[in-house]
Every structure is written in C-alpha cells, then in structure tokens.
Amino acid sequence: MKTILIKTMIIAAAAAIFTGCKEQKNRITFLSDPVAKKVEVLYDGQVFTSYIYPDNLEKPVLYPIYTSTGTVITRGFPLDPRPGERVDHPHHVGLWFNFGNVNGLDFWNNSYAIPADQKFKYGSIKHRQILETKNGQKEGTLVTTSDWVDFEGNVLLKDTTTYVFSGEGNRRIIRHTTQLTAQVPITFTDNKEGLIALRVDKAFEEPSDTPEIFLDANGNPTEVPIMNNNGVNGVYRNSEGFQKDEVWGKPTRWVCLSAQKDGKDISIAIIDSEKNPGYPAHSHARGYGLFAANNMGSQVFDKDAPLFTLSLTPNQSVVFTHTIVIQDGSFLTDDEINSIK
C-alpha cells in the first residue's frame, strides 16, 4: 500500500510539474525572417500580424493583422489585392506611423505611385535594425529602429519603435510607442495626414451611395460612380458620442470602428495617450477605410483652432504612444474601451 501511495505521489508531482510548464509556455512569440524582411508575431502559434519592411514600401508596417479567430481586418491592396476592394491610396498599407509635413517633406503620401520627378518632395522611413524580440506569456515585445530620410538619404529623425503585443480570450492589443530623435532642426507643421493609421478591410468601410474619385493601382485618378456595398457595414464612434462621418476631425481620447465580417461582430479601437503631444488626437477616420488618429493636426481640422507646430533641436526627442484594440465575437463597449490603460 505504501509503495502504491508513493508511486501515486510521484505521478501527481510529475503531472503538476508538466502542467506548470505548460502554463508557463509563451503565448506571444516572434519568428524573424531577414530574407523576407519581416518578423512574424505569433499568438499561441497562430499569426497575429507581421512587422514587414520590404523594399517596395516607403515605410515599415504591421501587415496583415488578424483577429483572435483568424479574420483579417486590414485591406489587401496593394500587396495582396482581394476581389471587390478599393485600389485607392497605395500608401495605405496595414498599420503605420508617419506624418505629412516634416520640414516641408511629405512622409505620409509617398509610394510607388509618385512620379520620379516628384519624389524629391517626399520622405521615406528606412528600417535599420531589430533591436529586440522578447517572447512572453502575457505580452511580447518587438523593438525596431528606423531612419526618417529625405530623397537623397539624409537622416532627419532616428526612430525607435516599441510594439507590445498582448491579449486574452477574444481580444488582441497592440501598444505602439515611437520615440523620434532629431538629427537636424525639425519642425512638424499642422497637417491632416497623420499619425498612427490603419487601412481596414472592405467590411469596415461605411456604405456609400455617392460618386467618388480614387487613385488606381498606377496612381491615376479613377471615377467610381457608386461603390459596391455588399458586406460593407462599418460604423465609427468616439469617446464623446459622435458617430459615423461626424467622428472625422474631432479631438477625442479614442475612436472605435465596428462591423460584421464573416458573420462575426468585430471592433477595432485606437486609443490616444494623455502623455502625447497634441492630446487628445484629432480623428482622421474616413468612411472609405482609412482609420487614423492625428496628434499633430489641429487647425487643418478646425479653422478656429490654433495652428499646431512641434519643433525639435538636434538630439531632442519626442514620444508618442497609441493603443490598438481588436475584438471579435462581440463589439467593444464604451466601458471596455475606457478600462484599457
């Protein structure tokens, strides 16, 4: 009897050790592929998103981005076009961070569609290094460095960006923090094109029944009489209670975009940080699928607001933090968003 009891205790102890190890298994892990110029972010072994920095983009981005059940929330074009989606604004790819007026250069609108003789007006963000990938049970961290450069390759800003990936149940969270350090005197001037942004899948667009003009894949204007609204059902709302197109241009702590896709209720929220310059950010959220929060646009959204400028001397830094929340299976409530710090 004593022998049996001892064996039972040993088996139970081994099972406890095994269970403990299993519980400590990292949920968020990273898979670097320097040849493909990307770092895959995995949640329980499934791709959550990828940090990519291919040569055919003018900035590094997170693309594509998935919900907890594997539904893609980002537009496919221009990297992987899907039938029926818009092909406007080829610079809108995944999740990105940049701005439309840095020392007079436009970092936002730069893409392959810009004619060669106009490229000197634009800036690019060049990936330099993966500083850290840290797996974790509750969160995983990716730290990258990039240079904001002009057409001739001169460095205006050094960029250190920290992505903290986390989530539980049907919710996924990306906390995005960018520190920009000036290499020359820098002025960010009031501009609507910024700052943290997503280009979302067609389902998250707002239905439209008016003619519009968009850029095609070659950067040429295309008139679209009436968009195909099949599956299109996105609705914006912000922390002040504005909805739909009334959200655009309003200063707000957060904006949430909700829609049904593949029979699932899905919400995406962008939350500003009180520590950011220009808080609360103005919403640069458009019904055609651009979802952005802009801390450095002010008068451009409200003619009665003061003109925004932010100047840095060489070696001076500025930091911006934003939180992106993605939930499927149920829409995010105001209380849920307000509880996220």
CA distance 196 to 125: 14
In the prediction, which pLDDT does 220 show? 53
Three-state SS at 160 = strand
Q: What pTM did the predictor assign?
A: 0.90
Question: Do β-strands 38-43 and 46-52 pair in parallel, antiparallel, or remain unpaired?
Answer: antiparallel
List the domain boundaries for the chain. Answer: 29-338
pLDDT tens, N- to C-terminus, the chain (341 residues): 444 444 444 444 444 444 444 456 899 999 999 999 999 999 999 999 999 999 999 999 999 999 999 999 999 999 999 988 888 899 999 999 999 999 999 999 999 999 999 999 999 999 999 999 999 999 999 999 999 999 999 999 999 999 999 999 999 999 999 999 999 999 999 999 999 999 999 999 999 877 766 554 445 565 655 667 889 999 999 999 999 999 999 999 999 999 999 999 999 999 999 999 999 999 999 999 999 999 999 999 999 999 999 999 999 999 999 999 999 999 999 999 999 97
In the prediction, which pLDDT does 209 show? 77
Backbone φ and ψ for 335, nearest 5 degrees, come out as -65, -40
> Would you state the torsion angle of the CA atoms of residues 64, 322, 172, 244, taken in this order, to the nearest 10 degrees?
-80
CB of 180 within 8 A of CB of 54?
no
In the prediction, which pLDDT does 87 show? 87
CA distance 106 to 254: 26
Which among 228, 227, 293, 226 has a CA at the least distance from the CA of 257?
A: 293
CB of 28 within 8 A of CB of 47?
no
CA distance 87 to 218: 9
CATH 2.70.98 fits 29-338, yes or no: yes
In the prediction, which pLDDT does 84 show? 84
Question: Which two structure tokens, joined as six digits, stand for 330?
Answer: 């149920």
Q: Which residues contact 268 (CB under 8 A, 6 or more apart)?
A: 73, 198, 200, 204, 256, 257, 258, 291, 324, 325, 326
